[in-house]
Structure 1
Amino acid sequence: MARHNRFIRWCITIILVLIIIYLGSLVDFIFKPILSLFSMSIIPLMLAGFFYYLLRPLVGLMERRKVNRTLAILFIYLAFAIIIIGFSIWVWPSLRTQLINLVDSAPTLFTSLRKQVEELERNGFLSSFLPQNSNLLTKLTEYLNKGFTLLTEYFSGLLTFFSNFAIVLITFPILLFYMLKEGGKFGEQIVRFIPKRFRHDGGEVMDEIDHMLSSFIVGRVIVNVALGVLMYIGFLIIDLPYALLLTVVAVILNFIPFIGSFLSSVPIVIIGFIESPSIAIWSIVIITIAQQIQDNLIGPYVFGKQLDIHPLTTILLVLVGGDIGGILGILLIIPIYMILKIVYSKVYVLFFKQRWENA
């Protein structure tokens, strides 16, 4: 009888939640300003959170050396300003030159790509890999046109982002400053909303989430920078054109879970193929070796077993994140999943484990 009543209560709760969601959809105009505020603040918050976990250990180290926390943050800001100035003087000119040359030589590169494919079709090299009557050149042109259409749409979206860049530029350093100064108190403020008898468990959950996010963000930066160094050295050895630019793009794209490594490889292989088929093959070899070192040596050492997520789970999460929130959804879905997993584990232990396992 008790189980029957419990089932009825759960059904009523679910029905009430669905009714609340339905009523909320009828008055969506009330939530539009909130959604607008969220969409404007999500980029600065993401950047601030990213750099908060990167810089927090450094702030803590300086504080342990008897440096005032606020002064330590200002020192870090000064160091960042010096790094940005150094980047703009020594690195950016080379990147800018490679980017301008790549854009200016795009028509020539496409002509060279067509010639390379025609040459491979003439010498019969591709016939052993492709079915008969398959016009690779036509398909390649079609795929490249689709790719450029997607790139055009993407860059038009970037223009919208950069039109709001002033907001990001102003709010991001301010948010980061207060997060570095008061970030340790954020979890305590959340725990205060939990009933007193669960505050200890809530504090453990917040500590676990904080540790997970720190390990995830710092670990991703370490493994991606290491991947970039390995790839850049390899590209210099094979004399790949635009090596620095392609490496920077690859490092950035590799922050996208699962599909980032594939997306970053496409432009590298195309540029290598335009130079010569052998360069394309060697670029694939270098990418494969670098990613294997990242996945099997650097990644396990940096992450340990903290990010033990099944590859199939990662694929499903990326698909769901991309469908819900585009590129931002893909970037955020893994941390959100891990946070929900931590919360679920604690809730299960507190409320369901003893009851279900002893039933």
Structure 2
Amino acid sequence: MEWYQKSWFKYMVVATLALVIIWFYGHVQFFIQPLQTFLMTMLIPIILAGILYYLLRPVVRFLSKYIWQTAAILIVFVALLGGLFLIGAAVGEFLINQFQELVKQWPVILDAGSRQVNDILQMIDFESDIVQEMRDNTLDFLKSSVGTIGNNVIGIAGAVTNAVTVTVVIPFILFYLLKDDGQLLPSMLKWSPASFQTHVKETLKEMDQTIAAYVLGQMLVACVIGLFMFIGYLIIGLPFAAVLALFALVTSFIPFLGPFLGILPAIVIAIPEGTFMLVKVLIVFVIVQQAEGNLVSPQIMGNRLNVHPVTVILVILATGSVFGFIGILIAVPVYAVIKVIVLSTVKWVRAARADDLKE
């Protein structure tokens, strides 16, 4: 194996590219900022419609075997809206009330948590500049980082729940994605030369399977994590269990970093409840993560994406610095798709060279 084919070289190239992207972003932010705003406005409805497309496509394809496709799509739409209405009627008011109560008590919780952390740090017998600096940094972290997370979540929720986007744009895009499901592949093949169509068709199918596996698998894993965290929080008696579990469910879509972000609000709420409650929250977190990593994800996701953890972290850093939260969400599937394209192209080129040598 040549030196440029070894794993260390590949990881070094990915790390270098990530650093270059971050450096480039810092120097051309005056141009990137308007472009980022434009892309975010365009990408949010497309991404959400794409996620729903992959979630609903199997059902629509199944129903289309027995009834007209448009009727199948409308039935699925009605069933989806009916399901959301029933869920909202069942737990919507409870979640809203709990969230409003959490927002109301949040300043008190932060203040009590800060005092608790300060008391713990003051129990250290010796005083030094390092200890004082650690104490101040810890208190600043509790006040600033969680507030930043809350502002980002509120901002994202405000963008996603925009009335026009949700009620008009996303259903419109979703309907035509489902309606033109069988025509997407042939329409893309028209743009490729006849001699390349077999290769392009195989690549597009593999890309589609990769995205479908990621969306369906990640959705199931996130729901399982949210359910497990809710059950764990209820068992240990943590306040605001439903809202905290829902937050953990949402952040679990972020690869690797999501679980740690999802546990932060629970830790902040647990600190004023006492050290034992904090320990119980950490135990729940460890148990859920072990169950997810060793039981849930291997059964649902398998090894379909085959992306190294170091590569995932570097890709997240690069895309997150440019596109923010949306970039973090789409980093892994986009990288996986690019990887499929590159590997498929390399495979095709090698096969073509082998055929030429035979001739």
TM-score band (shorter)? 0.7 to 0.9
Cα shift readout 1:21-40 (whole Å, capped 9, x = no counterpart) = xxxxxxxx9xx999876543
Following superposition, the deviation at residue 226 of structure 1 comes to: 0.9
Q: For 2:217 and 2:70, how far apart are their aligned partners in 1?
A: 26
Following superposition, the deviation at residue 110 of structure 1 comes to: 2.5
> One-letter code of the match for 1:60?
R
Partner of 1:109: 109
- Please give the secondary structure, in 2, of the residue aligned with 1:178: helix
Following superposition, the deviation at residue 121 of structure 1 comes to: 3.8
Identity %: 28
- Please give the secondary structure, in 1, of the residue aligned with 2:103: helix
> One-letter code of the match for 2:110?
F
Give the CA RMSD over aligned residues: 3.1
CA 1:49–1:121: 2 relative to 1, 3 Å: same
CA 1:307–1:114: 2 relative to 1, 3 Å: same
Q: For 1:323 and 1:33, how far apart are their aligned partners in 2?
A: 15
Matches within 5 A, 1:49-60: 49-60=50-61
Q: For 1:313 and 1:127, how far apart are their aligned partners in 2?
A: 43
Q: Greater Rg, structure 1 or structure 2?
A: 1
Give TM-score, length-normalised by structure 2. 0.82
Contact 2:233/2:241 (<8 A) preserved = yes
Q: For 1:112 and 1:36, how far apart are their aligned partners in 2?
A: 38
Contact 1:114/1:137 (<8 A) preserved = no
Q: For 2:232 and 2:111, how far apart are their aligned partners in 1?
A: 26
Q: For 2:184 and 2:284, how far apart are their aligned partners in 1?
A: 43
Partner of 2:267: 269
Matched, 1:90 2:90: yes
Matches within 5 A, 1:172-191: 172-191=170-189
Higher relative contact order (CA 8 A, sep 6+): 2
Contact 1:43/1:168 (<8 A) preserved = no
CA 1:89–1:168: 2 relative to 1, 3 Å: closer
Following superposition, the deviation at residue 355 of structure 1 comes to: 4.8
Partner of 1:314: 312
Q: For 1:163 and 1:284, how far apart are their aligned partners in 2?
A: 32
CA 1:235–1:157: 2 relative to 1, 3 Å: closer
- Please give the secondary structure, in 2, of the residue aligned with 1:134: helix
Following superposition, the deviation at residue 339 of structure 1 comes to: 1.0
CA 1:351–1:160: 2 relative to 1, 3 Å: same
Following superposition, the deviation at residue 162 of structure 1 comes to: 6.2
CA 1:116–1:160: 2 relative to 1, 3 Å: closer
Q: For 1:337 and 1:308, how far apart are their aligned partners in 2?
A: 11
Partner of 1:8: none
Contact 2:110/2:143 (<8 A) preserved = no
- Please give the secondary structure, in 1, of the residue aligned with 2:180: helix
Cα shift readout 1:165-213 (whole Å, capped 9, x = no counterpart) = 4134311001111111112321221111111011011111111111111
> One-letter code of the match for 1:231?
M
Give TM-score, length-normalised by structure 1. 0.82
Following superposition, the deviation at residue 140 of structure 1 comes to: 2.9
Partner of 1:99: 99
CA 1:94–1:204: 2 relative to 1, 3 Å: same
